[in-house]
């Protein structure tokens, strides 16, 4: 299959016009430097579309899986946050697709948490193939809220400390 089918060129939108950007701007080999955590996911048959590749919506499910496992590894799990009466709502999500994943492939979802400020924080992700090629990357922006009122509340100090321990060089820097 030609590379033009396997490696889609990134497209940007400006004032309703499509402009093709240089394919060199899309890194095919993932840089996972700076990611402090990863978890594996296998592409199930149910995850694939009619073209036999992982459907784009699955990446957001894999981001959530990695985020929950990250919190389990570093902060006692998402349930610990909920037990304190705090929820971490998703405010924004983004995914950029690079090289398609296919049925039964084992992928690695690399995860880090950055940009802690007030009630907000950001998870970043790099999904890689076994050979290191980037399948997709993205981020999710979050805000802590009181579970009862849904009003913003600061990131709990114990969670901030856990993330700063996991991300010593970058957790308080802007995302």
Active site residues: 49
CA distance 127 to 59: 8
CA distance 64 to 164: 20
The tokens of 12 are what? 């940007």
CA distance 89 to 144: 6
The tokens of 111 are what? 């995860």
CA distance 20 to 36: 33
């Amino acid at each position: 299959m030609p590379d033009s089918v396997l490696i889609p060129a990134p497209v940007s939108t400006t004032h309703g016009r499509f402009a093709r950007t240089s394919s060199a701007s899309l890194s095919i080999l993932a840089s996972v430097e700076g990611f402090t955590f990863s978890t594996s996911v296998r592409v199930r048959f149910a995850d694939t579309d009619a073209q036999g590749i992982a459907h784009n919506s699955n990446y957001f499910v894999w981001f959530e899986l990695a985020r929950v496992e990250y919190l389990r590894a570093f902060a006692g799990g998402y349930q610990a946050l909920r037990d304190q009466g705090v929820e971490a709502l998703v405010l924004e999500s983004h995914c950029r697709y690079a090289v398609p994943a296919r049925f039964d492939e084992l992928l690695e979802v690399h995860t880090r948490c950055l940009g802690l400020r007030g009630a907000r924080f950001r998870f970043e992700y790099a999904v890689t193939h076994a050979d290191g090629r980037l399948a997709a990357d993205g981020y999710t922006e979050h805000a802590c809220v009181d579970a009862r009122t849904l009003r913003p509340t600061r990131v709990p100090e114990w969670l901030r400390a856990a993330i700063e321990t996991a991300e010593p060089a970058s957790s308080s820097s802007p995302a």
